[in-house]
Amino acid sequence: MTKALCLASVAPVVLAVLACGSAAPDPRYPAREAGCPVKSFPGAPPMPVDELGTVTVDCSHANLGGCERSALDVVCQRGGDVAWALADNSLTAPRLVVHAAHTRRALQGPAKRGCAVRVFRDAPPMATENVGAVTALCSPDDSNESCLRELEDQVCVLGGDVVWQVDGPTPEATSEGNKLRMRGRAAHTK
C-alpha cells in the first residue's frame, strides 16, 4: 500500500475522532458502553437535563443511521442518556452535531455521615441512578467494617443511598504511609 493511500484511508477515522471534541467528563455520570440506550429529541429535551457538551461526528463515510448511532455512542461515552437538537442537522450534512446530556437527577442533596446505605458487591438488584465513584482510605489497623462505613459515609455525602461494585480493602503505599483503599460506585435508588 502506498504511503498516500494509507494516509487517505486513515484520515477519515482520525477526522471523525478529532471532531468529537474533548469535553471533560462529568464525574456524576460515568462513561457508558457503546450501544447504550439514549433518548433522542429533534429539539430541546422536554425534561431537565445536565449538559455534557456538543458531539460532532463525520458522516461522509456512513449512512445516516450509522452516523446517528455513532453520535449516540459518543453520548454514551460521555455518560449521557439524552441526545438533543438532532433536527438542526440537514439530511445531507457531512457532519452530525448533537447535544449530549443526562437526565437531571432528583437527589435530595447530601446526607449526613452515618446515613443508611445498602451495599452490593455486584450490580444492585433494583433501579438506581449512578452518582459517582467513591473511595475510602483507611488505616491498616481499621477493621473491614470501619473501612466500609467510611465508604458508605462518602456515599452519604454525595446524596446516595446505595454503594455497589465494592472492591477492597486493598493495601496501598501512600505519602502518609501504608493505607487500605476501598472503592465503589455511589448510586441513588430511583
Residue range 142-164: mean pLDDT, rounded: 91
Give yes or no for residue 164 having a pLDDT over 90: yes
**Residue 14 confidence (pLDDT):** 35
- Reported as a pLDDT band with limits 50, 70 and 90, residue 1 is very low
Q: pLDDT above 90 covers what percent of the chain?
A: 29
Look at the chain and count its residues. Answer: 190
Residue in the block written with cell 462529568: 26
Higher pLDDT, 182 or 21: 182
Contacts 24+ apart (CB under 8 A), 18-23: 19/56, 19/57, 19/58, 19/95, 20/55, 20/56, 20/57, 20/74, 21/53, 21/54, 21/55, 21/56, 23/52, 23/53, 23/54, 23/78, 23/100
Task: Point out the least confidently predicted range of 4-8, 56-60, 72-76, 138-142.
Answer: 4-8
**Residue 166 confidence (pLDDT):** 93
Compute the mean pLDDT over every residue in the chain, rounded to the nearest whole number: 80
pTM of the model: 0.47
**Residue 106 confidence (pLDDT):** 56
Contact 42, 96 (CB under 8 A): no
Q: Which fold has domain 118-189?
A: Translation Initiation Factor IF3 (3.30.110)
Using CA atoms, how far residue 184 sits from 3, 13, 79, 123, 163, in Å, is: 48, 35, 17, 11, 6
Give yes or no for residue 130 having a pLDDT over 90: no
Domains of the chain, by residue range, sit at 11-103, 118-189
Q: Give the pLDDT confidence of 34-65 residue by residue, as tens digits.
A: 888 899 998 988 888 889 999 999 887 655 55
